[in-house]
């Protein structure tokens, strides 16, 4: 993938700390997602996994992983990610020191699942909004009352510190980091390569009261792919149900089971993401962005983008545009007007061409 017209930039370094016994799933998420980022054919990130004691590191599944790097890998990292661990209530003092040092040096600090406990123990969450896996939120609140606990969200960012709730929410957090660093287009490409949802807003609730069924399934994958190709059209529940060949009621029930959100919520998420891509990679006017993304009008675009990002469309474009100044000027320049033909004394208005059968036949409709 490439970031359109993105200027050359150095590779961003991510240090992932494996605190034994580490969650293998948590540990795999950053490497899997950051490793898929390519900018103009070059890696966007260098991901290094490290541990307090290099060598075999135990996991929560009882296996051992060989981690060759020590905590010195944290020094100089742009982003430090602490994976969830079974020892969350008793974090290694060396990890706490490494986290404090990275924060002092200006690194972005993130945690997945129970990693938030170590961030809190290091004092990095005092007075900050943070989250963790819902099953441990009460314990985090009791042990660290200075944390502004958000126990019903997927992830939250407060300044340079990010925390996510359990398991797959780490994917959402990493995609958010990629989106922040390289834009929505790159993050969405990574999501497609990883076969995960392009975006679930951090404020989306952890579905603790209505857990998803064990078998999520992909029965509506084709309908979702079709909808992504028609976001600029006025799609509704009836259109989605017709494409899927089911009733609206069945669509709503099974779609939510597969994605965790309703069909219309899913559509809105994708339309906002499409609008962000267009704001980043084109110089379309705001009404044009709204129409192309299916949000309808500039006012609708402004309302939804402001609600999701806290930025107006113009502020978002100013902050995240991938167009160079030359690109923007070229895209905004009107097409040159061809010179009018010179009139000679013999030049008169030519007769209208004869209409043939082909010219008078109605145009065929595209299927």
Structure tokens at 284: 């379309």
What average pLDDT does the chain have?
Answer: 82
| Bigger pLDDT: 150 vs 240 | 240
Helix 263-281 with 237-244: angle, nearest 10 deg:
100
What lies within 8 Å, CB to CB, of 24 at 6+ separation is 59, 60, 61, 63, 65
pLDDT of residue 264 exceeding 70: yes
Question: What whole-number percentage of the chain has pLDDT above 70?
Answer: 80
pLDDT of residue 94 exceeding 50: yes
* Length of the chain measured in residues: 367
| Bigger pLDDT: 21 vs 336 | 21
pLDDT of the residue at 71:
97
pLDDT of the residue at 198:
58
Average of pLDDT values for 58-77?
A: 94
Q: How far apart are CA 180 and CA 193, in angstroms?
A: 18
Band of the pLDDT at 218, cuts 50, 70, 90?
low
Q: What is the pTM of this model?
A: 0.61
Average of pLDDT values for 278-282?
A: 90
Q: How far apart are CA 69 and CA 53, in angstroms?
A: 8
Average of pLDDT values for 271-291?
A: 93
pLDDT of residue 333 exceeding 70: no
Average of pLDDT values for 39-67?
A: 94
pLDDT of residue 195 exceeding 80: no
Highest-scoring range by mean pLDDT, 36-50, 143-157, 315-329: 36-50
Q: Is 281 helix (H, G, I), strand (E, B) or coil?
A: helix
Can you spell out the DSSP letters for 50-100?
E-SSSEEEEBTTS-EEEE-B-GGGGTT-SEEEE--BTTTTS--HHHHHHHH
The greatest distance separating any two alpha carbons of the chain, rounded to the nearest whole angstrom, comes to 96
pLDDT of the residue at 355:
33
pLDDT of the residue at 4:
43
pLDDT of residue 210 exceeding 60: no
Band of the pLDDT at 208, cuts 50, 70, 90?
very low
Average of pLDDT values for 286-294?
A: 96
Structure tokens at 241: 């149900």
pLDDT of residue 357 exceeding 90: no
Least confident of 37-41, 90-94, 188-192, 201-205: 201-205
pLDDT of residue 212 exceeding 50: no
């Amino acid at each position: 993938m490439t970031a359109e017209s993105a200027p050359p930039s150095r590779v961003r370094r991510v240090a992932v700390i494996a605190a034994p016994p580490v969650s293998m799933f948590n540990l795999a998420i950053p490497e899997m997602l950051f490793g898929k980022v390519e900018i103009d054919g070059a890696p966007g990130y260098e991901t290094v996994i490290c541990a307090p004691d290099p060598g075999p590191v135990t996991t929560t599944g009882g296996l051992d992983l060989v981690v060759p790097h020590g905590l010195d890998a944290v020094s100089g990292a742009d982003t430090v990610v602490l994976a969830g661990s079974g020892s969350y209530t008793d974090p290694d003092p060396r990890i706490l020191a490494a986290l404090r040092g990275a924060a002092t040096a200006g690194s972005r600090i993130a945690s997945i699942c129970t990693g938030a406990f170590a961030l809190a123990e290091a004092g990095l969450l005092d007075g900050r909004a943070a989250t963790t896996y819902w099953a441990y939120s009460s314990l985090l609140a009791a042990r660290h009352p200075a944390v502004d606990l958000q126990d019903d969200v997927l992830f939250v960012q407060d300044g340079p510190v990010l925390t996510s709730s359990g398991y797959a929410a780490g994917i959402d957090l990493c995609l958010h980091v990629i989106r922040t660093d390289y834009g929505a287009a790159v993050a969405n490409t990574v999501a497609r390569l990883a076969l995960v949802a392009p975006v679930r807003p951090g404020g989306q609730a952890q579905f603790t009261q209505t857990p998803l069924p064990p078998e999520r399934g992909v029965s509506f994958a084709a309908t979702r792919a079709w909808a992504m190709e028609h976001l600029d059209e006025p799609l509704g529940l009836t259109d989605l149900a017709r494409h899927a060949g089911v009733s609206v009621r069945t669509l709503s029930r099974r779609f939510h089971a597969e994605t965790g959100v309703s069909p219309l919520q899913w559509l809105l998420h994708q339309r906002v993401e499409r609008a962000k891509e267009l704001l980043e990679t084109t110089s379309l006017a705001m009404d044009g962005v709204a129409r192309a993304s299916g949000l309808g009008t500039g006012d609708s675009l402004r309302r939804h983008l402001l609600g999701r990002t806290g930025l107006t469309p113009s502020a978002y474009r100013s902050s995240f545009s991938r167009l160079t100044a030359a690109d923007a000027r070229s895209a905004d320049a009107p097409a040159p007007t061809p010179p009018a033909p010179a009139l000679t004394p013999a030049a008169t208005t030519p007769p209208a061409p004869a209409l043939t059968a082909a010219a008078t036949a109605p145009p065929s409709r595209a299927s």
